Amino acid sequence: MTKLALITGASRGLGFALAEALAPDYHIIAVARTVGGLEDLDDRIKAKGGEATLAPMDITNRDAMAHLCRSIHDRWGPGDEAGGVLALWAHTAIHAAPLTPADHMDPKDWQKSLSINVDAMGHMIPFVAPLLGTDGQALFFDDPHGGEKFFGHYGTTKAAQIALARSWQAETVTTGPKVQVLEPRPLATATRARFHPGEDREPLIKPADEAARLLGRLGV
């Protein structure tokens, strides 16, 4: 049976690259709000002889995430003796608000950053954990900017996201699933371009190359 990988934030950047790299060895369950990006990913995966299930949805929608996870269980469950349906969950979805001084932060950007980067974690981990069982892996990706000037929105909420991931990691050392926090090298992505306009992108790593490196390091 083909292994299952859930990728949240799969329509672009590192999430897209991870999903493409995992196919066709994994059936990809691709979650993102951007339908066009998901369709492009589906085309790439099919070209490699793989298969994907596209889930165009907002991870902040608790009911939608609950329905998705229940559907994964019903379609592919109930799993083996270790209780796992998913072999892998890679969470790359993020909101990158514009850089701004802390005393000029836009309330809408602050709420959106909290909702996507932090609040969604509060229901995704409880919903996905049972699908991973004890043998699955959960991957989170750090991008440390906490305390840096102008990174009030992003740095604060990303740090909170990773703090929660590390708590889960510490809690599951002996029981599983295996929770890992990785720090990718600087990537040539739209998120980085937003933070570093005018930067020379030539030295930056392509998401596809970094995805291959990270997965190889993990033995996935």
What pLDDT is recorded for position 79?
67
Residue 84: which pLDDT band, with cuts at 50, 70 and 90? confident
Q: How buried is residue 128: exposed, middle or buried, by Cβ count under 10 Å (0-12/13-18/19+)?
A: buried
What pLDDT is recorded for position 81?
53
What pLDDT is recorded for position 2?
83
pLDDT tens digits along 145-158: 999 999 999 999 99
Q: Which position has the higher pLDDT, 81 or 108?
A: 108
For residue 31, pLDDT beyond 70: yes
Which candidate, 148, 133, 163, places its Cα nearest to that of 73? 133
Find out if CATH 3.40.50.2300 is the number for domain 3-215. no
pLDDT tens digits along 155-169: 999 999 999 999 999
Residue 48: which pLDDT band, with cuts at 50, 70 and 90? very high
How far apart, in whole angstroms, are the C-alpha atoms of residue 124 and residue 79? 19
Token pair of 120 as six digits:
């969604």
pTM: predicted TM-score of the whole model, two decimal places = 0.96
Question: What ranges do the domains of the chain cover?
Answer: 3-215
For residue 15, pLDDT beyond 60: yes
